[in-house]
């Protein structure tokens, strides 16, 4: 490859990748993430999430301390996210049932265009995700982890992208995860002491700007132009 063509390709690739970038919605946060986009400490209030308990009461969401995760089959905390649970402390015996983890974010004035940008997430839960809802629209997502029977917290789900732009509101949006805490299987608890049945969720969200078709056309035209120049140099 001659030097000019190499530089041309580099410029085109740089142009293409610069239009595909991770972005943030200022008011959309991972679980256990601070306003400054760092992971919160353990056993502190998460200011961005609330949890509705199986009996319908509302709980503040608290981060799980690493000491709670230690020795248990949980995915480790990330630099910008941490497991959260209903209430503070160890919460070793959370009631079985469905917990609704809720957060809100505002797209007003953000320039966010769901027709060209996408929100994706990965999630892990104790015990499993029974559904995800955006503004009342079920997203068709469930996750039961790679293992089963209460040991399914060791890995993130695959990334799931919210691909229906009509599900977003121009202003306030509500994102909800249905987390099922299954009853303890018979004989459970022997590994970690007395029978216990904690629950929790670890979520990582990402916003990706997708290039518009016109961008691809410009990159293609640039590559075609330099290819033509190279052909002319060879044949002249
Ligand atoms: Ca559990």
| Cα–Cα distance, 231 to 236 (Å, whole number) | 9
- Closest by CA position to 67, among listed 42, 103, 50, 34: 42
Cα 53 to ligand 1 centroid, rounded to whole Å = 14
pLDDT score recorded for residue 7: 41
More confident residue, 117 or 75: 75
Q: How far is the CA of 145 from the centre of ligand 1 (A)?
A: 13
3-class SS of residue 192: coil
* CA 83 to centroid of ligand 1, rounded, Å: 13
pLDDT tens for 31-69 read: 999 999 999 999 999 999 999 999 999 999 999 988 877
Report the candidate in 11, 68, 63 with the shortest Cα–Cα distance to residue 41: 63
CA-CA distance, 100 to 107, in Å (whole number)?
22
CA of 55 to the centre of ligand 1 (A): 16
pTM exceeds 0.85, yes or no = no
Contact 129, 31 (CB under 8 A): no
Confidence tier at 163 by pLDDT (50, 70, 90): confident
- Ligand 1 is a single-atom ion; what residues have CB below 5 A from it? 126-127, 181, 197, 199
Q: Report the pLDDT value the prediction gives residue 226, as an integer from 0 to 100.
A: 46
* Mean of pLDDT values over 107-123: 84
Q: What is the pLDDT of residue 145?
A: 76
- Average pLDDT over the chain reads 78
Q: What does the pLDDT read at residue 73?
A: 78
Chain centroid, CA 65 distance in Å:
20
100 close to 51: Cβ distance less than 8 angstroms:
yes
């Amino acid at each position: 490859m001659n030097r000019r063509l190499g530089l041309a390709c580099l410029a085109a690739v740089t142009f293409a990748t610069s239009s595909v970038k991770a972005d943030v919605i200022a008011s959309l946060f991972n679980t256990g993430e601070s306003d400054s986009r760092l992971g919160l400490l353990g056993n502190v209030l998460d200011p961005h999430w609330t949890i509705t308990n199986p009996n319908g009461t509302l709980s503040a969401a608290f981060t799980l301390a690493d000491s709670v995760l230690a020795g248990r089959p949980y995915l480790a905390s990330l630099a910008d996210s941490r497991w959260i649970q209903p209430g503070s402390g160890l919460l070793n015996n959370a009631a079985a049932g469905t917990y609704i983890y809720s957060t809100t974010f505002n797209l007003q004035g953000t320039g966010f265009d769901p027709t060209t940008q996408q929100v994706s997430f990965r999630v892990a839960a104790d015990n499993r995700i029974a559904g995800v809802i955006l503004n009342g629209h079920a997203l068709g997502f469930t996750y039961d982890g790679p293992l089963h029977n209460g040991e399914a917290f060791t890995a993130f789900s695959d990334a799931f992208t919210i691909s229906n732009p009509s599900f977003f509101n121009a202003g306030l949006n509500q994102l909800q995860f249905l987390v099922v805490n299954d009853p303890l299987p018979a004989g459970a608890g022997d590994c970690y002491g007395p029978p216990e049945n904690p629950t929790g969720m670890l979520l990582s969200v990402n916003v990706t700007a997708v290039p518009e078709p016109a961008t691809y056309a410009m990159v293609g035209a640039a590559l075609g132009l330099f290819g033509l120049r190279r052909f002319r140099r060879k044949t002249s």
